[in-house]
Amino acid sequence: DTGVSQDPRHKITKRGQNVTFRCDPISEHNRLYWYRQTLGQGPEFLTYFQNEAQLEKSRLLSDRFSAERPKGSFSTLEIQRTEQGDSAMYLCASSPRQINIQYFGAGTRLSVL
């Protein structure tokens, strides 16, 4: 499968715990995006990378959220001290250099108890 891969698919955690998600983009896609989606809403932009550089972060992204893409390939999204309001589907997408068509992964569904 050469699509965008996300791991884990589901994560249940207790409030206050830290969680980390991983995204493997399509090979050779230089841009990688993180979105959050809650029930009945469209994906909401969180941050994006061009190669290893994080070029934009949403104002919605609190200090508890951090993302990395150390070698310009896979990316991780970490949420520290999770809150119940963090419960959502976290989607990763990647796009090729030539055109900004975004290919989404299956997402990681986070439930904070």
Partner 1 sequence: GQQVMQIPQYQHVQEGEDFTTYCNSSTTLSNIQWYKQRPGGHPVFLIQLVKSGEVKKQKRLTFQFGEAKKNSSLHITATQTTDVGTYFCAGQYSNDYKLSFGAGTTVTVRA
Instruction: For partner 1, give the closer residue by CB, 14 or 27.
Output: 27
Distances (CA, A) of 56 to 2, 48, 53, 105, 109: 26, 6, 9, 20, 23
The nearer residue to partner 1, 14 or 101, going by C-beta atoms, is: 101
Residue 20 Cβ vs partner 1, minimum distance, rounded to whole Å: 20
Please state the closest distance from residue 83 (CB atom) to partner 1, in A.
23
Supply the minimum distance, in Å, between the C-beta of residue 81 and partner 1.
Answer: 26
Mention every residue, 6+ apart, whose C-beta is less than 8 A from residue 87.
38, 110, 111, 112
The answer to whether the peptide bond before residue 8 is cis (omega within 30 degrees of 0) is yes
Residues engaged in binding partner 1 (CB under 8 A): 31, 33, 35, 40-45, 48, 50, 55-56, 91, 95, 99-107
